[in-house]
């Protein structure tokens, strides 16, 4: 019976390590948006890409508001 308990304890420890790895690498704030991405600060190239994405999204929102104003929609 103790062997079974030891096996379960080992599996639980492995799962905790896996959970820690996921939390360390995944951007959990994006999960709410159903986006499963690696944290940008995990790698320098990911950080650069995140900055580019942020700039593009800001430009898209600006264009959306501009077009919305031209066709008399409420600004978002």
CA–CA dist 60, 23 (Å, integer):
30
Phi, psi of 73 (to 5 degrees): -95, 160
Mean pLDDT (whole number) for 29-47: 92
Q: Is residue 4 scored above 90 in pLDDT?
A: no
Average pLDDT, the chain: 89
3 — pLDDT class (breaks 50, 70, 90): confident
Q: pTM above the 0.75 mark? A: no
pLDDT(8) > 80: yes
Q: Is the pLDDT of residue 75 over 60?
A: no
CA–CA separation, 60 vs 76, rounded Å?
Answer: 11
Q: Where are the domains of the chain?
A: 1-37, 39-76
């Amino acid at each position: 019976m103790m062997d079974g308990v030891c096996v379960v304890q080992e599996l639980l420890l492995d799962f905790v390590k896996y959970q820690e790895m996921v939390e360390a690498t995944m951007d959990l704030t994006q999960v709410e948006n159903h986006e499963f991405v690696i944290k940008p600060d995990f790698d320098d190239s990911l950080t650069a890409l995140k900055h580019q994405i942020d700039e593009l999204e800001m430009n898209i929102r600006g264009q959306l508001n501009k077009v919305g104003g031209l066709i008399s929609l409420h600004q978002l």
